[in-house]
Chains A and B, each alone.
Chain A
Amino acid sequence: MSRIVGIDLGTTNSLVAYVDEQSGLPRVIPDRDGRVLLPSVVSFTPEGVLVGEPAKRQLVRRPGSTVYSVKRFMGRGFEDVREELRYFPFSVAPAEGIVRIAVGGREVTPPEVSAVVLRALKERAEGHFGEAIERAVVTVPAYFNDSQRQATKDAGRIAGLDVVRIVNEPTAASLAYGLHQLARGVIAIYDLGGGTFDISILRVKDGVFEVLATNGNTHLGGDDFDRALVEWLLDDIRARHGADLSGDPEAMQELRLAAEAAKIRLSAGERTALTLPFADFTYHREILRGELEELIEPLVQATLAPCRMALADAGLPASTIDEVVLVGGSTRVPMVRRRVQELFGKAPHSQLNPDEVVALGAAVQAQILAGGITHMLLLDVTPLSLGLETLGGVASALIPRNTTIPTGARELFTTSVDGQTVVDLHVVQGERELARDCRSLARFELRGIDPMPAGMPKIEVTFLIDANGILQVHAKELRTGKAASIEVTPTYGLADADVARMVEESYAYAEADVHARLLIEARNEADTVMTHVERALRQGADLVPAGELAAIRAALDALRQERDGGNTELIVARTVALNQITEPLATRLMDAALRAALASRRVAEIMESP
């Protein structure tokens, strides 16, 4: 049997980890450049598909065909994401069923985009071990519903990975902590990532990690902090420069990246500044931590209600929690730590790197499945109630939320019309009373029922939620003992045939060898640098002495000539050379922009003062 790796497929970054045989400890696998985090960004360029850092560098240059935060779209429909689409520069087709993103003249689904990220991690692991990697444990937010989990499994399949287990992120984190003996008793895992929030309450005892309750929000994370800041900056730019940047995808991406960076700096410092040179003006702004906190306060508050509900479902008051563990990059925000501490009445900790701990835990679970760890057992729960649509559109519960998985329920069905041979079932997931307010998972058609008078057939349907939190349905006609065939139509999922086709297509992509991809990356990087230099020369040619200008032009031409050739090393070398030779120019431009921004601000301040 081949090795099983653990993968954290994150909204912002993804990682791959394994358990080291000698030490028995989980380790993350870095890429060739020593970087552990792979940005979950995929860019569909005319040259080919880019992933990770090279794709991230395309965010501003190709906003329409560079996909990020795709995890927010996994297992969802157009209506679910319509609200937030204005924050994304790429477009989503208003169609029924699964979300389809239009990039570079074609449509891709979220599982396909995630598959590109997974494949990159698979290759990273293969490079590390020098052997094929075909199986993985992949983590998902605990509050992911069945469709979102299934979409994650599909992504694995498209990437050529058998996802042997879907593990909840907070639970995975608890495994990593448990292995290091850093958590015991009743623990609360507060996991705030780039796009999702989870809270899980666990009892860790005798090597058993028993999840007592979980809750969360799959649309709440650091991305939302960034958006709040972006909105605020847009207003500020409108007020100060009279410009509305919201319709300019490139400017919006620059603003988003700058906001994200400023947010990160404000976790360590009390104040920060950002300077953004746009085409018509340069925007400069100082931001205080207090200003950011005012913006994100409602978002941080929104994480507390799920915490209280999880405690209530676990039947425990906050005071009985022995330890509070923080997971996810967004828990670095001081206000988050403060609010968590207030809620639980004790200081939360995060000894293990909150960016890595989920991947490390996935590796531990992988090792358990491989038989390498036998003293640890994870007992997780299903986060949402599973129900059937019944009379008047009411959701009738089959399996309540926070039931330990695997779990099952049996229900009897019959026919309502004489001679009826098909029975339809609509399975939903959620906590709302009406089926239409819950998440539609799938419609099941029980077929092949022998024609009988109405009410005579007795069809026993078994609903099983497996250890992945994914639903399986079986049906049997009790009189005949015959298994009824079931046709499943997932509401927000890919049909099997779609997945099979995508697997085929992805093989074609995989066969483009590493060299070809490096060449694509190099060309894109060259294009980015050349665009920047050309723009800089237009803006500030007068800032450059004649000799330097000639040298820059020469380096630019040299790179342009090489760009379409097949020599990757030469393209990289010339890109680096162009970058170096333009550094003084970049510095001067930035200084000039800053001076201009400060000057204009001083004027504005003078004008405003009475």
Chain B
Amino acid sequence: MAYSDKVVDHYNNPRNVGSFTRDTPGVGTGLVGAPECGDVMKLQIKVDVDTGVIEDARFKTFGCGSAIASSSLATEWLKGKTLDEAAKIKNTDIVNELKLPPVKIHCSVLAEDAIKAALADYREKWAAKAADAAS
């Protein structure tokens, strides 16, 4: 078929659906949208403030199957990664893993944007405090 089993599985059984309370220490939130189709995606990371490692990740996506599968996969990958490693996740990695067809590539872009936004949010909110604590 045109789609891999993996993508169908992520679509049917999305991992890590849900959310953290925004103000929980170490939580970074990314909220992004795809203007082409009106999909919205919220992706959150929960970082161990001491080690800088992502302990957990959650998402909530209102959109098509590829967007859901992309964000589901992204949260799986994020867990256990350092912030720098997380920043290296590219939409093309998601495309290759899920074998998304060209028409659905913008869904993977959305997931990448969401990761970036969540990392930025974390840095803005908590990184300074983490640095303070460390010093």
Contact = CB atoms under 8 A, between A and B. Distances in A.
Interface string B56-91: 000000001110010000000000000000000000
Interface string A365-399: 00000000000000000000000001110101000
B96 A391 contact: no
A414 B101 contact: yes
B42 to A, nearest CB: 20
B65 A391 contact: yes
Nearest to A388: B2
B11 A392 contact: yes
Contacts of A413: 2, 101-102
Interface string B1-32: 11110011001100000000000000000000
B7 A391 contact: yes
Interface in A446-466: 454-455, 458
A391 B99 contact: no
B103 A391 contact: no
B3 to A, nearest CB: 5
A416 B99 contact: yes
B65 A392 contact: yes
B34 to A, nearest CB: 15
A243 to B, nearest CB: 53
A455 B103 contact: no
Contacts of B47: none
B99 A411 contact: no
Contacts of A396: 103
Query: Which applies to chain B's interface (DSSP): helix, strand, loop or mixed?
Result: helix
A414 B4 CA distance: 12
A414 B102 contact: yes
Contact of B1 (A424, A454, A458): A424
A408 to B, nearest CB: 16
Nearest to A415: B99
B129 interface: no
Contact of A424 (B2, B8, B103): B2
A318 interface: no
Contacts of A423: 2
Nearest to A423: B2
Contact of A391 (B69, B95, B102): B69
Interface residues of A, number: 16
A414 B12 CA distance: 23
A455 B96 contact: yes
B122 to A, nearest CB: 30
Contacts of A391: 3, 7-8, 11, 64-66, 69, 104
A455 B1 contact: no
Range of interface residues on B (Cβ < 8 Å): 10 to 19
A573 interface: no
Contacts of B3: 390-391, 416
Interface in A417-440: 423-425
A434 to B, nearest CB: 11
B8 A454 contact: no
A390 B11 contact: no
Contacts of B64: 391, 394
B104 to A, nearest CB: 7
Contacts of B8: 391-392
A455 B99 contact: yes
Nearest to B11: A392
A412 interface: yes
Q: Which of A392, A425, A458 has the most CB of B within 10 A?
A: A392
Contacts of B69: 391
A414 B101 CA distance: 6
B101 A412 contact: yes
A412 B103 contact: yes
Q: Which of B2, B8, B95 has the most CB of A within 10 A?
A: B2
Contact of B103 (A392, A411, A425, A458): A411
Contact of B102 (A392, A412, A454): A412
A390 B4 CA distance: 11
Interface in B91-123: 95-96, 99, 101-104
Q: Which of A391, A396, A423, A455 has the most CB of B within 10 A?
A: A391
Contacts of A390: 2-3, 65-66, 101, 104
A545 B65 CA distance: 83
A392 B5 CA distance: 10
A424 B103 CA distance: 16
Given A391-B64, A455-B99, A416 B2 contact: yes
A402 B3 CA distance: 29
Nearest to A398: B103
A394 B64 CA distance: 9
A391 B99 CA distance: 11
Interface string A450-490: 00001100100000000000000000000000000000000
A411 to B, nearest CB: 6
Given A392-B11, A416-B2, A454 B99 contact: yes
28 contacts: A390-B2, A390-B101, A390-B104, A391-B8, A391-B11, A391-B64, A391-B65, A392-B8, A392-B11, A392-B65, A394-B64, A396-B103, A411-B103, A412-B101, A412-B102, A413-B2, A413-B101, A413-B102, A414-B102, A416-B3, A416-B4, A416-B99, A424-B1, A454-B96, A454-B99, A455-B95, A455-B96, A458-B102
Top 9 nearest A-B pairs (CB, nearest first) are A416-B99, A391-B65, A392-B65, A392-B11, A412-B102, A416-B4, A391-B3, A391-B66, A394-B65
Given A391-B69, A412-B101, 9 more contacts: A390-B66, A391-B65, A392-B11, A394-B64, A394-B65, A413-B2, A413-B101, A416-B4, A423-B2
